[in-house]
Structure 1
């Protein structure tokens, strides 16, 4: 099956444009500068985003791989005011290995101690895929930040000076725009690296909120329409030109304990997240981490995440922010 993808492009002179890709072919869309602008047009016209894109006609053909290599592709969504792009996510949403699930069930059945995380995972298995029109189990939820923490293709993922770790999380992210009447519209899915501090998180799960306040990267493509039921990809870390860790990862609803619809319901049920004009990037979780295999990342490492039907990877080097020179953040009295 061939999937339509939208990409955002910025030329050397700063001019913005949108690209529509289908299979190996891609072309610029005349008369539209951003994905958000095109989505607003689709909402106003009562059409799908794909229909709105095709209605633009075909501009000049473009080689998206060459444009990625030239540094001309942006994240597939953004907002003029970064405070109106919110990044959030849900965890414990993927099935993982059958062996791991069996161990969890055996522990629960035998009366052994069940951690809060394990309990939430089991509850997701039980109630994360409700019948259409019914409410399912509430997932783990976290806040990552706003649009100033969204990193584009090839840009560095920069951990704070105080971070204990900077680790990859290969995921799918849902991309949404809130309409003028407060309706949440899913524009599509993007391949993502939901970058986190796993050392901080593992110290105490109550520090999860701290570990998630980090940048995140999106691949350059926005996948339109109904996504594949199951998605298989590869996550790897390259150090000094050599791959030091590589592992397949699984995503898509067929590999998850929750449906997208259930995760979306438990996010957008809050009025706060249905503010007209806002953009949301919501990360759906993963079961594959290099940290779980004992990998300690280093500055300069390159995270590369790829998965079909996305043609282009999420590829970003790891960096650390420079120190402020002060031991603590000072709050001044007025």
Structure 2
């Protein structure tokens, strides 16, 4: 499966393919004004190979591994205007959370516009009034709305839907507040169908020592709901069809460190290792 990423190197924008391997040089292509999401939509419409379509006329530039620390990765397909990106998702979607009160359509939530996305290494801010913060290791679907106003699936990544679960537990009607914490996202966009199975581990460090460790399972087979059904219902609302908008849809998680008895604190470092897909996402939580 083709994996796409975008980055900044020495003040210039680039894109590349694959997940960089330690010790290997990065092969990058100058963006030079290319709209990656529009180019991917065009490639999908024409049946062209996306890698060939994006690199045509853009020779590769190699960055030695010794210089890779200066490469700044970006959230996948994040528009220059963060108002053109909408981050949202579904809650209580997984089979492990099904009970007698399960609804036919899961609750959808708004998380933020594009400025709420943070790649690995960045801090995730939560309000000073937060009650109990938890990580949520999730598959993230990425859609672009085409020129005719139709949302088109472009690929998927992996993220951390940081949530004030304490506020939600205190008052279920406060889900909208609980979800306004910033979100972690890997820069790597997988240009293929959403994964059926994703497995990995979460490690939370405090003061340089592991304070919590656990496992997670996600993917479409872990969902109680049919993915096509819930996405069709979501995009039945024309307010989400503004041409050029990028949608990041978090698909929900199974149990978190909160369910394992961990109480998150300022400065905790959360590392989500999506081992089945070779992606690691690590962020420090800051009470602001």
TM-score norm. by structure 2 comes to 0.88
> Is structure 2 residue 184 aligned with structure 1 residue 186?
no
- SS for the counterpart of 2:134 is coil
Shift of residue 53, structure 1, vs aligned partner: 2.3
Query: Per the alignment, in what secondary structure is the counterpart of residue 133 of structure 2?
Result: coil
Task: Indicate whether 1:244 and 2:211 are aligned.
Answer: yes
Q: How does 1:168-179 map to 2 (within 5 A)?
A: 168-179=135-146
1:96-144 CA distance string (max 9 Å, x none): 2xxx76xx4xxxxxxxxxxxxx412xx4xxxxxxxxxxxxx32211111
Distance 1:235 1:245, change over 3 A: same
Change (3 A) 1:18 1:309: farther
Report whether the alignment pairs 1:74 with 2:70: no
| CA distance in 2 between partners of 1:71 and 1:247 (Å) | 31
Distance in 2 (CA, whole Å) between partners of 1:288 and 1:27 is 37
* 1:3-18 pair list within 5 angstroms: 3-11=1-9, 13-18=10-15
1:44 CA drift (Å): 3.3
What is the CA distance between 1:200 and its match in structure 2?
A: 0.6
1:212 aligns with 2:179: yes
1:27 aligns with 2:27: yes
Residue number in structure 2 paired with 1:95: 95
Contact 2:37–2:77 (Cα < 8 Å) also in 1: no
RMSD: 2.4
User: CA 1:85/1:242 → structure 2, altered by over 3 Å: closer, same or farther?
Assistant: same
1:58-116 Cα distance to aligned partner (Å, 9 max, x none): 6134578984x5562121231121112111110111112xxx76xx4xxxxxxxxxxxx
Q: Which residue of 2 aligns with 1:51?
A: 49
**Structure showing the higher helix proportion among its residues:** 1
For residues 211 and 6 of structure 1, do their structure 2 counterparts lie closer, same or farther at Cα, with a shift above 3 Å needed?
A: same
Contact kept, 8 Å, 2:156 with 2:193, in 1: the verdict is: no
1:188 CA drift (Å): 0.9
Would you say how many aligned residue pairs link Structure 1 and Structure 2?
281
Change (3 A) 1:165 1:71: farther
Task: After TM superposition, list the pairs within 5 Å mapping 1:106-145 onto structure 2.
Answer: 118-120=100-102, 123=103, 137-145=104-112
Give structure 2 stretches of 5+ with no counterpart. none
Distance in 1 separating the partners of 2:62 and 2:248 = 29
List alignment gaps of at least 5 residues for structure 1: 105-117, 124-136, 322-334
Q: Which moved more, 1:54-63 or 1:220-229?
A: 54-63
